[in-house]
Amino acid sequence: QSVLTQPPSASGTPGQRVTISCFGSSSNIARNTVNWYQQLPGTAPKLLMYNNNQRPSGVPDRFSGSKSGTSASLAISGLQSEDEADYYCAAWDDRLNGHVVFGGGTKLTVL
């Protein structure tokens, strides 16, 4: 069971806007920044968002992130077929000397 909670699945049609949520606690999301990763089948994860809402170079502005209290969300607008992937949230957790916690992942299907 993951420390951060994500819905196991999400879906949308091309052009739609979808949102993926990530719920944590006072020791992780509330105190630290949230990062989001995209993982296409058979490939290594890719950093999609860091510091809650910052996009690394090369990530389209269709992707946006936000955080409020103990939860965060990733929004994808103008959904495209190539967005079909697994999405993971992650954050530093201050308990137990400090460690990184991941969400269980959300499988996004483009219908």
Phi-psi region of 98 (alpha: psi -120 to 50; beta: other; left: phi over 0): left
19 to 38: interface string for other proteins, x by CB under 8 A: -------------xx-x-x-
Find, among 52, 102, 62, the residue nearest to 83 by Cα.
62
Contact call for residue 63 and other proteins (CB under 8 A): no
Range in contact with other proteins (rule: CB under 8 A) among 10-18, 49-57, 61-69, 72-80? 49-57
Range in contact with other proteins (rule: CB under 8 A) among 9-17, 18-26, 70-78, 91-99? 91-99
Residues 78 and 64 sit within 8 Å (Cβ to Cβ) = no
In the bound state with other proteins, the residue whose beta carbon lies nearer, of 48 and 79, is 48
Contact call for residue 103 and other proteins (CB under 8 A): yes
Binding site for other proteins (CB under 8 A): 2, 32-33, 35, 37, 39, 44-47, 50-51, 56, 86, 88, 90-92, 96-105
